[in-house]
Amino acid sequence: MSKARNAILERLRAGRGDQPLQAPASDFSVVRDRDWSLTERLERFETTISSVNGEVHRVVEEVWVQHLWALMAAKGLNNLLVAPETVLGQQLLQQQQASGPELRTYRDPVEHWKSELFNGVDAALTGCRGAIAETGSLILWPTVQEPRLMSLVPPVHFVVLRADQVYCTFYQALAEQGWADQGMPTNALLISGPSKTADIEQTLAYGVHGPRELVVLVLE
Amino acid sequence: MTQTSTLSDVREFHPRVRTALDNPQIRSNFRNAMDGLMGKRQKAFDGWDLDKLRDLGAAVRLRALARLPELLERLEANCIRQGIQVHWAETGEQACEIIGDICKARQARTVIKGKSMVSEEMELNHYLEEQGIEALESDLGEYIVQLAEETPSHIIMPAIHKNTTEISDLMHERTGTERSHDVDYLTASARQQLREKFMTADVGISGVNFAVAQTGTLCLVENEGNGRLTTTVPPCHIAVTGIEKVVEHLEDISPLLALLTRSATGQHITTYVNMISGPRRDAELDGPEAVHLVLVDSGRSSVYQDPELMDTLRCIRCGACMNHCPVYTRVGGHAYGTTYPGPIGKILMPHLLGLDSTRDLPSASTLCGACGEVCPVRIPIPTLLQRLRKESVDGDRLRPSVVRGHGSKRHWKEVLAWNAFRWIFASPGRYRLLGMLMTRFRAFTPSRVGAWSRYRSAPKPAARTLHQLVNERAKGGGR
């Protein structure tokens, strides 16, 4: 234990003296109490994420892969980074088309193919752990199968969201998924739209360091 | 890469204010930006019970501060358990050395940085450069400011003092991009240049918005993705934060996030909320192999000694107080000469640098109260400004006070004047004598009285006192 640590903690304890400091009770109702129906939640999610240039497509589950191929063709994307071990990845691999985009997988540690990942991948597809209606956010917990950089480095990020996984608020998502109790992953993310900046005279520009486009496929 | 917050510079507050007021470009850049931000903030809270949300934000921060030493220990224990190495620094210099040593141990040559005001506060880039380590800012605003060899003029929007033309010229001169008013082109050029750096940097350094004690989680908020790249691509991530940024529970970040992004830029949420709880684990394919957390005190534990001034530590660095400050809007961020400008800077910097060098800051306020009214965690900024004004003249340096340099504005002439005032006004005879002298010899009062008469005419005693006038009126049968 370092000298600095002890000195800082000692000063803090001395400052407080013998009187424990009091804080008012925290009433979370203002960030908790929302009672929106599933339809309303989906609508709010869609409106909010669209307002920051997120693209939302509602598709029937059986045809989502075909829908994705069509979107990729329309956007002129030649390859897609996928997680082959996930259910979504399996579906993609099974329905791969000979004339369709090339599918790539994130099999090796990033150090082995950094340049390729940064310069050669057009788009990536990941799942998510749900979404938040109030802020138009997607919840991602990157995993061994879907590493952190999949949702960050390729210029286009496709996310598959199940329609029944939309929570009203961040507070509700935290509580219902039991984040604090189960222990946090190495990295947890809320993603609300494509990367953006307003650092040049308050003018919005998209795709500054992360993806230029965020495309959400809502499976109904 | 340079810092303006050296002591001699801070003292030059008034000359800098005059220069800034004479610069129409600066005035219009700030005015346009601040007007826009105020409107966006208001709109973002539409449909919210803002008072209740601010109450909650304040309660969460107060609870964290009430348990600060325990929470820091809990944060440390949880971080270590998850593989994050924790370091403590009493001063900015110590924090720089810790970071420098980590870099040297890794033989790091280049460092990529996400936005961090604490690193600005401790002049980290300057230190690393002296050690032969290149430190490159990756937030677009910080990148622009670094190209210009300036310091941020706003804690959220570092390059807000520059317009597109100025930025285009700067990028052209420094990086060879074409001159252009196309913001998309300028942004894309910066992206291209920084991508290479992200891939090759040995260390990534970031700040922290909230550190959650319960789960050992570092929470970073950003729009660009540079923060995520900084904390994911290089093999080593160093997070640096002030000790006051800790919160108790994971759920505590939910109201703070709701307040922070709406207050700062009028966004419901930022594009990315990045929660980091450890280095790369077994079998994971990316993320840094080492994560360090540097906890910096640098005057904060001194502020903690005073229950009133402690409120300064509630701050979540949203910048709303700047956006709403009539003084900040007119003089801009650089005039303050400190890392944190505007109202929050005026109550924080005296603690970090001492009141002797920041003596003019608490007075650079109209006390209009706008900062206190918009503060998402209800810091009573105007009250604290008055307290620091009092500290700067009250007593002498021998009297105990938690504020370094207190009493440094005390001047014998002022003390003498107030003592004389007390002596005269405590006695009816002396009071009448003064009235007589003042009315008789009013022609001899000076026409210049220091700073007061710089923009106003000097006060002149009337020919007759109020007593005399009232008495005459009574005799004349008036009401």
Q: What would the pLDDT profile of A52-98 be if each residue is shown by its tens digit? A: 999 999 999 999 999 999 999 999 999 999 999 999 999 999 999 88
Residue A147 lies in a domain: yes
Query: Could you say which residues of chain A have pLDDT below 50?
Result: none
Residue A88 lies in a domain: yes
Say what the ipTM of the complex is. Answer: 0.96
Average confidence (pLDDT) over B406-431: 91
Among A25, A28, A185, beta carbon nearest to B251: A28
Q: What would the pLDDT profile of B297-314 be if each residue is shown by its tens digit? A: 999 999 998 889 999 999
> Rounded to an integer, what distance in angstroms lies between the CA atom of residue B156 and that of residue B271?
15
Contact B56 A192 (CB under 8 A): no
Q: Which range marks the domain in which residue A149 is found? A: 36-193+208-219
B271 CB within 8 Å of a chain A CB: yes
Residue A111 lies in a domain: yes
B124-163 residues touching A, CB cutoff 8 A: 138-141, 144, 157-160, 162-163
B286 CB within 8 Å of a chain A CB: yes
Stated as kind and residue range, the H or E segment containing A56 is strand A55-59
**B201–chain A nearest CA distance, Å:** 12
Q: Is residue B7 scored above 60 in pLDDT? A: no
pLDDT-derived band at B147, boundaries 50, 70, 90: very high
Q: Tell whether pTM > 0.90.
A: yes
* Cβ atoms B151, B330 nearer than 8 A: no
Q: What residues of A are in contact with residue B184 (Cβ under 8 Å)?
A: 205
B-chain residue closest to A110, CA distance: B286
Average confidence (pLDDT) over B29-56: 94
B-chain residue closest to A112, CA distance: B285
pLDDT-derived band at B344, boundaries 50, 70, 90: very high
Which domains, ranges and CATH numbers included, belong to chain B?
39-302 (3.40.50.10420), 412-475 (no CATH)
pLDDT-derived band at B396, boundaries 50, 70, 90: low
> Rounded to an integer, what distance in angstroms lies between the CA atom of residue B388 and that of residue A216?
52
Contact B140 A200 (CB under 8 A): yes
Task: Write out the DSSP string of A63-126.
Answer: GHHHHHHHHHHHHT--EEEE-TTSHHHHHHHHT--TTSPEEEE--S-GGGTHHHHHHH--EEEE
Average confidence (pLDDT) over B10-17: 84
Average pLDDT, chain A: 94
Stated as kind and residue range, the H or E segment containing A214 is strand A213-219
pLDDT-derived band at B131, boundaries 50, 70, 90: very high
**B373–chain A nearest CA distance, Å:** 19
> Rounded to an integer, what distance in angstroms lies between the CA atom of residue B224 and that of residue A207?
8
pLDDT at A202: 86
Residue A177 lies in a domain: yes
**B117–chain A nearest CA distance, Å:** 16
Q: Is residue B6 scored above 90 in pLDDT? A: no
Number of domains in chain A: 1
pLDDT at B12: 85
Contact A23 B228 (CB under 8 A): no
Q: Is residue B459 scored above 90 in pLDDT? A: no
pLDDT over 70 for what percent of chain B?
A: 96
Stated as kind and residue range, the H or E segment containing B238 is strand B236-242
Number of C-beta neighbours around residue A27 at 10 A? 13
pLDDT at B476: 78
Average pLDDT, chain B: 92
Q: Is residue B3 scored above 80 in pLDDT? A: no
Q: Is residue B2 scored above 50 in pLDDT? A: no
Nearest to B25 by CA among B184, B169, B165, B178: B165
Number of C-beta neighbours around residue B294 at 10 A? 25
Residue A179 lies in a domain: yes
pLDDT at A197: 93
pLDDT at B411: 87
B165-184 residues touching A, CB cutoff 8 A: 167, 183-184
At A135, which CATH number? 3.40.50.10420
B273 CB within 8 Å of a chain A CB: yes
Q: What residues of B are in contact with residue A213 (Cβ under 8 Å)?
A: none
pLDDT-derived band at B67, boundaries 50, 70, 90: very high
Q: Is residue B387 scored above 50 in pLDDT? A: yes
Q: What residues of B are in contact with residue A7 (Cβ under 8 Å)?
A: 90
Mean pLDDT is highest, among B2-6, B14-18, B224-228, B403-407, for B224-228
Q: Burial, B81: exposed, middle or buried (Cβ in 10 Å; 0-12, 13-18, 19+)?
A: exposed
Region label for A199, one of left (φ > 0), alpha (ψ between -120 and 50) or beta (otherwise): alpha
pLDDT at B69: 95
pLDDT at B110: 96
Mean pLDDT is highest, among B3-12, B164-173, B407-416, for B164-173
**A39–chain B nearest CA distance, Å:** 20
Residue A17 lies in a domain: no
- Helices assigned H by DSSP within chain A: 3-16, 29-32, 38-50, 64-75, 87-94, 114-120, 170-176, 179-182
Among A30, A185, A198, beta carbon nearest to B53: A30
B50-109 residues touching A, CB cutoff 8 A: 52-53, 55-56, 58-60, 62-63, 65-69, 72-73, 87-90, 94
Residue A19 lies in a domain: no
Q: Is residue B156 scored above 50 in pLDDT? A: yes
Q: Which residue has the higher pLDDT, B411 or B374?
A: B374
